Amino acid sequence: MTFELYVAYVAATLVVLAIPGPTIMLVVSYALTQGRGSAFASVMGVGLGDATAATASLMGLGAILAASAVAFSVLKWIGAAYLIWLGIKMWRSRPTALSPHQVADVPAKKIFWHAYVVTALNPKGIIFFMAFLPHFIAPQAPVVPQLTLLGSTFVALGILNAAVYALAAAALGQKMRSPSLMRLVNRIGGTFLISAAAMTATLQKSAG
C-alpha cells in the first residue's frame, strides 16, 4: 500500500464516520442527558464495538479474497453500487434531529455495554465496511498487513469521532439537535459517497 492510498483512506474514513448513524445518535443522546461524564464510557463502548465489527468484516473479506480474486473484484463493484445507493438515500432523506433518550443517572458500565451492543451488532455497519474497505487495498501487496492496518485505523478514528461528537454535544446542547444541521451533514455525506463510488469505478476501469 502506498502512502498516498493510505492518506486517501484516512480522509475518506473521517468523512464517512462523521455521518451520524445509530452509534453517534446514541453517544450524543447520552452526552445531552448525562453530560461529559458519559463520554468516556460511551466512546470506549464504540471503540470495542467497532473493533468487533471490523474483525468480522475483515475475516469475511480475507475469506473472499483467498477464495477468488474475481469474487473480490465483483465485491468491489457491488460495493461501489451500494455506496452510490446509500449516497442517494442520504440526499433524499428527511432531516432527523439527534434527540436525547429519556434517561437519568445511568451507570457508566451500562452506557459502555449499550454503546458496544449498538455498534457491534449493527449489520449495516458491517456491510458498509465490507463495501468500503476493498477500494483501498493494493492487490500487488500482501493483503493481511493491509487489512490489519486499515482495520486498526478505522477503529482509532471511530473512537476519535465518537469522542468529538460526545464532547460537542455536551458543550453545545440544543444545537446538536438541529434538523437543518442534520440536513447539511446528510447532503455532504451523500455527495461524498456518490463521488467516492464514481471515482472508484473510474480507477477500476482504467486498471482493467
Q: Is residue 60 part of a domain?
A: yes
Mean pLDDT of the chain: 74
Q: Is residue 15 part of a domain?
A: no
Q: Is residue 9 part of a domain?
A: no
* Listed residue (68, 90, 83, 89) closest to 129, CA to CA: 83
Residue 97 backbone dihedrals phi, psi, to 5 degrees: -75, 150
CA 150 to CA 159: how far, in whole Å?
14
Q: Does 197 score more than 80 pLDDT?
A: no
Cell numbers at 21, concatenated:
448513524
Q: Is residue 96 part of a domain?
A: yes
Cell numbers at 179, concatenated:
434538523
Q: Does 181 score more than 70 pLDDT?
A: no
Give pLDDT, residue 133. 77
Render pLDDT for 87-111 as a digit per residue (tens, 0 to 9). 677 677 665 555 544 445 678 888 8
Render pLDDT for 39-78 as a digit per residue (tens, 0 to 9). 899 999 999 998 988 888 777 766 766 666 676 667 667 6
Give pLDDT, residue 156. 93
Q: Is residue 200 part of a domain?
A: yes
Q: Is residue 3 part of a domain?
A: no
Q: Is residue 87 part of a domain?
A: yes
More confident: 119 or 93: 119
Q: 168-176: which pairs have CB atoms within 8 A and are 24 or more residues apart?
A: 169/27, 169/28, 169/31, 169/32, 169/98, 170/31, 170/32, 170/35, 170/36, 170/39, 171/36, 173/32, 176/28, 176/32, 176/98
Render pLDDT for 127-155 as a digit per residue (tens, 0 to 9). 677 777 777 887 778 878 888 898 899 89
Q: How far is CA 26 from the centre of its chain?
A: 14
pTM assigned to the model: 0.68
| Residue span of the structural domain in which 49 resides | 20-207
Q: How confident is the model at residue 208 (pLDDT cuts 50, 70, 90)?
A: very low
Across 18-40, average pLDDT: 78
Q: Is residue 5 part of a domain?
A: no
- DSSP for residue 95: P
Total domains, the chain: 1
80 close to 11: Cβ distance less than 8 angstroms: no
39 close to 31: Cβ distance less than 8 angstroms: yes
Across 5-20, average pLDDT: 81
